[in-house]
Chains A and B, each alone.
Chain A
Amino acid sequence: MDLLNINHLRIEFPSRHGTVVAVDDVSLTVHPGEVLGVVGESGAGKSTIGNAVIGLLEPPGEMTGGHILLKSQQIDTLNPEAKRKIRGRRIGMIFQDPLTSLDPLQTIEQQLVETIDLHLKLGEKKSQERAVDLLRQVGIPDPENRIKNYPHQFSGGMRQRVVIALALCAEPEVIIADEPTTALDVSIQAQILELMRRLCKDKQVGMLIITHDMGVIADITDRVAVMYHGKLVEEGTTEKILGNPDHPYTQSLISAVPRPDIRLRRFPMVNYIEEEGERAKNIDLSTHWLGRVRDYEALEGPLLSLKNLVMTFVTKPALLKRNRMTFNAVDDVSFDIGQGEVFGLVGESGSGKSTVARMVCSLYKPAAGAVNFAGTDLTRIKSENERDFFRRQMQMIFQDPFSSLNGRMRVLDIVAEPIRFHKLASSSREVEQIVMDLLDHVGLGAQAALRFPHEFSGGQRQRISIARALATRPRFLICDEPTSALDVSIQAQILNLLKDLQEELGLTMLFISHDLPVIRQMCDRVGVMKTGKLVEVSATEDLFENPTAAYTRELLDLMPRLDQLSHKGLEVEAG
């Protein structure tokens, strides 16, 4: 029997610029004990479906067509009070961010007991027993004591377990999970997904998982629905969608997913997604200003050499040194990067990889150790003017495309700022010409120069960031999670662009990511970091095929398998 039916759902958001159809004629069915994944990129309308089912559509959104049935009973037309009685009792919901999903001023016991007693009317005592039992089921150790704690006393992964327990309070028939693991590290993601899948099978709950992540889809779902711009483009078993998709959008989406198992020369572009993808106009590097990047004199040794780098942060400030609490975010890290090499740094959040990058480009001053760049120890430079000479050779691309550009400046001024500051062009006319060429070269087109950042999408902004980084003609580029905030298809385009630039300009790169498949696609050698320490450095293919450190093996094991992915039209690079 069908548990949840969504028939021809249509949801509209009226706005100043006309009505936006967020969900357009979508029909889905969830069976008991089944996990249905709804996958799509940002703006596909997938979260809106979840909110509509639970009856919490955010204004001004409204359902303008279709119906939602729970065990053949129509629920979207019920009055608010009847809808409320279904929430939590028959349909549970899990949100993305466990850090903000719980009331910070109440113990988790108060929150659990309140919900249990509301729906099951067990009374104080029985509700408490059930609460402890639920915490045990979701894998909270020592639930009898931990239940007295406040949310801030739990880690992120543990809080998501508490959130799941809260969603399970009244044994709902359906659970909707909206990006349940996006805010968590890979290792915790795997545990939470495993827990959710087990609960779903044991209790014969129907589960609707909303996600942008193909790894989550491959790990947990039985069937998948693919959404694009509010429409359902394809639906089928997980095996079918990942291995042999029919729709061109699904095909392009699948081909853009970074492979954990093989290294590709480039991501194949099935040009379904409309973004200014390819180069508008290539510039001739042999004569152009930018081409002079290749003029740096060759070096004997490595371009960058880190020696016993340490970074200490004060966690509890105090006047007296002995009362201060500190921890080493980076602890005795040494590695070399050869000229023209792409060196990857991988690790979970808090492993210190971004801190290393910030020490390399002098944003942080190391507590100890040396940063040797082209034979000079940057940590010993005293004057700002002397440092400028090296700053010009070294640039950085940041993670968040929405905060890495100053919204008050035009793109022209953003990209021109480094050229003007380092006086790399003789006239303002030349500056403008260089900026427009750079914008052309990164695939945006020169006309972007007069616009403001907010007029661009995330991927386009990242291209502006890249143009700005190239504007000092650097020989060394630091990429700090350059694509982790982007949709997977945009990520593929940006990674392709970075690969092309690296090749044609002979750039040396430090590439930082938490995402092992991305590292495999991009890097020549990889360093693995754990809690501030470098645990392993190997050539990329060796690392993936024969990891030596136990932690590396653990990370690789936790990586979503994605074995089923279609291999159609891929160009594998010899390792």
Chain B
Amino acid sequence: MISFIFKRLLQSIVVMLTVALIAFSMFRFVGDPINNMVGQDTSQEEREALTERLGLNDPFIEQFGRFVLHAAEGDFGISYKYREPVSKLIEGRLSATLELSFVSAVLALVIGIPAGVYTALRSKGILSKGIMTLSLIGVSLPTFLIGILLILFFGVVLRWLPTFGRGDVVAIGWWTTGFLTASGLKSLILPSITLALFQMTLIMRLVRAEMLEVLRTDFVKFARARGLPDRAVHFKHALKNTLVPVITITGLQLGSLIAFAIITESVFQWPGMGLLFIQAIADVDIPIMAAYLVMIAFFFVIINMVVDILYYTVDPRLRADSAT
């Protein structure tokens, strides 16, 4: 177990370093960082002094090393556009994105998995066919269009729910939460549904496909031949075996929610990291883009670690293999 975690940790560090390299190369080679930081009328000497001060004349490895060390402390430099530390800009928006992603993840899992199981078990039923058709429409609707339609219907026509922003938030240290106010909760409804819908359909279809696969295996047939009732066959044997492969992909999917939030945030003007990022792209604000990339990779690595450990505890075959 220890060596397993250690191995994963090592792999994660390699992934993080790769991403950091990409992010750093972006910062260093896309456009001229000096030109982006100073005004038109800055003299040549001042420019050279700044170049020296920022260490841009040092060897590549040294610069990269410094970038990694600073990034590890949360320091991603100064935004070209806002002239403010990137870390500060992100800090204010991190909680907005994470809360939105979290609610969406819960929605996607809580609805997606049971729906997948149901449609696999009653694959010929009318309700199943209906759910499957709906899910296909769900996959075919671009997220931004879902957002627009929800806004049009619940916001403009019915005027039930707010269509932009987070509502009132409560600050707990640097973290701001919308969970504690009525308007905060209300503001979460439409964006989180928008963000969850696509993942929900994916998870549902995945669970369904895996479950159908498991239901055809010999051990399910043998369990039936022993006279076990359907309930035991389906939920004791089939479901558990279904979830083993599903865990990995679901983990990846939920991780991508954080990045997919870009679209939702820009439709709903949700003040999160995604909105910051999309504006940074339009302005070619490289330090923010680099920071965002590293942040996303970091969340992914964390989620992957959790998934791997989960996988390891669920499947006895893995445990035995590393034991011997």
Q: Which residues of A contact B (CB under 8 A)?
A: 54, 56, 84-89, 92-93, 95, 97, 100-106, 114-115, 118-119, 150, 152-153, 163, 166-167, 169-170
Contacts and interface: CB of A to CB of B under 8 A. Distances in A.
Contacts of B224: 56, 84, 87
Interface in B231-245: 232, 236-237, 240-241, 244
Nearest to B224: A56
B227 interface: yes
A89 B227 contact: yes
Contacts of B217: 100
Contacts of B223: 103
Contact of B226 (A97, A150, A153, A169): A169
Contact of A103 (B225, B237, B320): B237
B315 interface: yes
A446 to B, nearest CB: 41
Contact of B316 (A88, A150, A167): A150
Contact of B227 (A102, A104, A106, A118): A118
Contacts of B237: 103, 106
B228 A118 contact: yes
Given A105-B315, A115-B228, A97 B218 contact: yes
Nearest to B236: A114
Interface in B290-324: 314-317, 320
Nearest to A58: B221
B229 interface: yes
B219 A100 contact: yes
A153 B320 CA distance: 8
Contacts of B160: none
B322 to A, nearest CB: 10
30 contacts: A54-B225, A84-B224, A84-B229, A87-B225, A87-B226, A89-B227, A92-B226, A93-B222, A93-B225, A97-B218, A100-B217, A100-B219, A101-B218, A102-B222, A103-B237, A104-B219, A104-B316, A105-B240, A105-B314, A106-B237, A114-B228, A114-B232, A114-B236, A115-B227, A118-B232, A119-B227, A150-B317, A152-B316, A163-B222, A170-B227
A85 B225 contact: no
Nearest to B315: A105
A93 B240 CA distance: 24
B222 A104 contact: no
From DSSP, what is the main secondary structure of chain B's interface residues?
A: helix
A92 B316 CA distance: 28
Nearest first, the 9 A-B pairs at minimum CB distance are A88-B227, A87-B227, A88-B226, A93-B225, A100-B218, A150-B316, A101-B222, A103-B219, A103-B237
A214 B184 CA distance: 76
A97 B218 CA distance: 8
A15 to B, nearest CB: 19
Nearest to A167: B226
A141 B244 CA distance: 31
Contacts of B225: 54, 56, 87-88, 92-93, 95
B228 A88 contact: yes
A478 B244 CA distance: 43
A573 to B, nearest CB: 43
B218 A105 contact: no
A199 B241 CA distance: 32
B219 A102 contact: yes
A504 B232 CA distance: 62
Contacts of A100: 217-219
Q: Which of A87, A101, A103 has the most CB of B within 10 A?
A: A103
A92 B223 CA distance: 11
Nearest to B223: A103
A30 to B, nearest CB: 17
